[in-house]
Chains A and B, each alone.
Chain A
Amino acid sequence: MRYKPLLIYLFISSIFLTLVGSIWKIMATLQGLKLTEINFNINFLLALLLSLSIVLIGKKINHLIKILLLPLLFTFIYILINEAAPIWYNVGILLISLFFTNRVKNYTLSYLKEDFVSEKIVFDFLSLFAIVFFAFIILFPFYLMFVTSFKLQSELLFNPLDLSINFTKNISEQFKSYVVIFKTYDFGRYIYTSSIVSIGTVIITLIFAIPAAYAVARLNFFGKTFLSTSILIIYMFPAIVLVIPLYTVFSQLGLRNSIEGLLIVYTATTLPVAIYMLQGYFKSIPKEIEDAGLMDGQNWFGIIIKIIIPLSLPAIASVALYVFMIAWNEFLFSLMFLDNPKSFTLSRAINHLTGDAETPRQYLMAGSVVVTLPILLIFVYFEKYLVSGLTAGSVKG
């Protein structure tokens, strides 16, 4: 029986084509197109027909003709049996079917008789679909955030399906939400506070962590193993169990609503992982290089400044970026410690915006874009460093 691969191929590929078509339809709907029917069953039959004809035609006609002709035919029937849609939508359908046909152009009846072909087909389509699926579910919320920040309250309530950007508005109208959050809600100050807190945390953490990591990596002292295990264990304790005692103590010391208080807490909570990451890297530096430094009469301060730091810049960059990300995104402590708008960080300020149910959502989303964009840009630009930081630090999150 060699029909099994054929049936599997037909089923999987048609499902794939229909699903991708449906995603395209959903995306078109979200651009304001009035489409109300998915027509899954009919479109599935149509896709089945396309898959079957590709295999049946096989190599009997020229590849190029097959790849061009069949999608055109498919799109034509698709337009006939689906509701009316503008031309750009149907061009999208044509491109999807073109891509699909090109993908399976080599599938013939004889190819489907090879070993493990059904498994290969399943894996192939699964990963193709997974690419579309993951890209869609990840990028969609970011897209929603971005687009909503350019909308007006009335547009949002009138048609939540229309997620297109109206480019005909003039500049000041287009960026109104951003103007409002900077002028009325004072987001400029929050950006400044967030930057100071994040950069400050990075600097203080590094100043504390580099010597400590060097000691753990290189020097012998009583309690070393105990210390290196406790670093990891301390790291496992979550912020939520620290919050009440810190809140009470900070209240009594008057450290609430102050940047200093946040700096202390952020530094202390990121120190363990910074030490852990750095000492791993320091251990990989050959000891002979340091010995040479010792011969030159350097003390430990000189060794750290002149030898260790220049040699471990990539690791320090990783730690710095990771700590920056943690501090920039941190929410719990800023929620607990800050209740005076003068000392808000960006995250806290956005949370404060929602406290008033009347705040239009486009302002909220504009604020979200303002806090998200810098960290995503930093991530994309320094991806290599941040990824290694994330991998080492991702025991937490």
Chain B
Amino acid sequence: MTDTLSKIEKRTAYTLLLPAVFLVFAIVLFPIFANIWISFKEVQLKDIRIPEPRAKKIVKSISEDKTKLKIVYRLRNSSLIEDINNIKFSDKLPKNIEPVDLDSRCIFKSKKIKCDFGNWEAKYRENFEIIIQNINGDLIDKNIIKSQKPRLSGDADNILLTTKFSLKNFKKVFNENEFLDLLLTTFYFTFFGTVGAIIFGMFAAQLVNQKFYGRTFMRSILLFPYVGPVVALAYTWTLLLDPNSGSLNALLVNFGIIDKPINLLGQKYMTLNLLGFDIKLRLALTTVIMFEIWRYFPLAFLFILARLQAVPKDLYEAAEVDGAGPLRKFVNITLPQITAILSILFMIRFIWNFNKFEDIFLLTGGASGTRTLPINVYQQGFAVSDIGMGSAVSIVIVMLLIIFMIIYFKLIGKRANEI
């Protein structure tokens, strides 16, 4: 009895899960594996259309004989690189109408012209002509002939499904002199973006955890940068930072803080003189990191605030009795209470910032030294149109991600459930 019950339970569980699991597998897991497949192929963006035979039908009158019509089929292979084999053609003619002197490749049977065109190499083109006439010698209605569309079929290799593989993409990815720079930029962006967001989030959480007038209002607006659409916010920032008509540069020039406008998003390096040392700052990258911090500190804030509100109040009261000041209370009570959440936040945000695409893409498009790995996927795949290279870069990202996740689960995976 219990046996059948548990069987029913199992079956129910699988029925309930199947749609969701199937969809997630098809759209999320399958592409990750498909990336591996594509990354070993030399595929360009233009190759991914499956080659197909095409025919454009043109109907012409013949001036000397009104009872006949000429049909011209403009035949072509849609692909510039792939052959199509075993091409079959068929077109239907209306009643009482038949072709005159049919091409040797074709036969006319039960009102249908059927042709066997064999193989077309890449870029193949041909003007295929048929003359038709009415058996009764009447005029033929051009429009009826025109409205009938010819059918074509053929076998072509889908370049994605062939078993030709090469290591060329990976060689290119790793041999590029910029690969190290790419990796460094990504880490620089990820690390400072994450740490900055957490520090700002901590300040904001500490602030909102106090009682003051307008606290709920403050808590709402602190989440605005995260809730707002990235497209709108990134373009607003671009406008704000614009060297020619942006408010920030105009403001700085107006108050004499800088002599001439700085192109914060378009300048790769800026030399800063700090205490007599010349420091070369990655300017555009720093600006992008600032945006990143601005947009994602709300998340850190939300997490830390939730934790802060769970800290028992009597801990602080006891500390006060013992004569501890605000600083001691923060260092000795608050910080130990939030270290766990800070480390989890760091790991999660690190992984997510590592994958960040939209923000950088919208602000700089990856120019002026802000090209990170995800940006490179897009540039290789769609700007350079090399799908194979793009996939190879994706694979590099996935590999690094898996390493991060192993570290994450090793270090704090078990503690993640406690929060």
Interface residues, chain A, with chain B CB atoms under 8 Å away: 26, 29-30, 36-38, 115-116, 119-120, 122-123, 127, 130-131, 134-135, 137-142, 144-145, 148, 156-157, 159-161, 163, 208-209, 211-212, 214-216, 219-222, 224, 227, 233-234, 236-249, 251-252, 264-265, 267-269, 271-272, 275, 300, 325, 328-329, 331-332, 336, 346-347, 350-351, 354, 361, 364-365, 367-369, 371-372, 375-376, 379-380, 383, 386-387, 390-391, 394-397
B279: interface (CB < 8 Å): no
B27 touches A145 (CB 8 A): no
Contact pick for B255, options A38, A144, A271, A375, CB 8 Å: A38
B20 touches A271 (CB 8 A): yes
Q: In the docked arrangement, what's the CA distance between A26 and B255, Å?
A: 9
Chain A residues with CB below 8 A from B387, complex form = 244, 247-248
- CB contacts under 8 Å to A, within B189-226, are 203-204, 206-207, 210, 212, 214, 218, 220-226
Residue among B29, B239, B391 with max Cβ neighbours from chain A (10 Å)? B239
Q: In the complex where A29-B251, A161-B254, A238-B352 touch, is A244 in contact with B391 (Cβ < 8 A)?
A: yes
Q: Is the interface of B mostly helix, strand, loop or mixed?
A: helix
Tell me the minimal C-beta distance from B132 to chain A in angstroms: 33
B231 touches A139 (CB 8 A): no
Q: In the complex where A236-B401, A240-B377 touch, is A227 in contact with B27 (Cβ < 8 A)?
A: no
A351 touches B27 (CB 8 A): no
B224 touches A376 (CB 8 A): yes
B276: interface (CB < 8 Å): no
Contact pick for A119, options B302, B325, B377, CB 8 Å: B325
Tally the A-B contacts, defined by beta carbons under 8 Å.
Answer: 293
User: Which 10 pairs, one residue from A and one from B, show the smallest C-beta to C-beta distance?
Assistant: A268-B27, A116-B325, A238-B355, A368-B232, A245-B34, A245-B31, A212-B20, A211-B16, A221-B13, A219-B13
Chain B residues with CB below 8 A from A395, complex form = 348, 352
- CB contacts under 8 Å to A, within B250-269, are 250-251, 254-256
Q: In the docked arrangement, what's the CA distance between A211 and B13, Å?
A: 9
B233: interface (CB < 8 Å): yes
B6: interface (CB < 8 Å): yes
B38: interface (CB < 8 Å): yes
A144 touches B247 (CB 8 A): yes
Q: In the complex where A130-B207, A212-B21, A391-B306 touch, is A376 in contact with B6 (Cβ < 8 A)?
A: no
In this complex, what residue of A is CB-closest to B242? A160
Q: In the complex where A245-B34, A251-B49, A368-B231 touch, is A394 in contact with B28 (Cβ < 8 A)?
A: no
B228 touches A376 (CB 8 A): yes
Q: In the docked arrangement, what's the CA distance between A239 and B31, Å?
A: 10
A240 touches B255 (CB 8 A): no
Contact pick for A252, options B29, B48, B251, B302, CB 8 Å: B48
B240 touches A144 (CB 8 A): yes
Interface residues, chain B, with chain A CB atoms under 8 Å away: 6, 9-10, 12-14, 16-17, 19-21, 23-24, 26-32, 34-35, 38, 43, 48-50, 158, 160, 203-204, 206-207, 210, 212, 214, 218, 220-233, 235-237, 239-240, 242, 245-247, 249-251, 254-256, 294, 296, 299, 302-303, 306, 323, 325-327, 348, 351-352, 355, 357-358, 362, 374, 377-378, 381-382, 387, 390-391, 394, 397-398, 401, 405
Q: In the complex where A347-B229, A379-B227, A397-B296 touch, is A236 in contact with B405 (Cβ < 8 A)?
A: yes
Contact pick for B302, options A211, A215, A394, CB 8 Å: A394
Q: In the docked arrangement, what's the CA distance between A242 and B214, Å?
A: 43
Q: In the docked arrangement, what's the CA distance between A396 and B356, Å?
A: 11
B254 touches A208 (CB 8 A): no
A329 touches B230 (CB 8 A): yes
A379 touches B296 (CB 8 A): no
Contact pick for B228, options A29, A240, A269, A372, CB 8 Å: A372
B38 touches A390 (CB 8 A): no
Chain A residues with CB below 8 A from B204, complex form = 130, 134
Q: In the docked arrangement, what's the CA distance between A386 and B231, Å?
A: 21
A252 touches B50 (CB 8 A): yes
B246 touches A300 (CB 8 A): no
Chain A residues with CB below 8 A from B38, complex form = 244-245, 248
Given contacts A123-B326, A222-B10, A241-B32, 7 further A-B contacts (CB under 8 A): A130-B207, A243-B381, A245-B35, A329-B230, A364-B235, A365-B235, A371-B229
B27 touches A36 (CB 8 A): no
Chain A residues with CB below 8 A from B223, complex form = 379, 387, 390
Q: In the docked arrangement, what's the CA distance between A127 and B43, Å?
A: 56
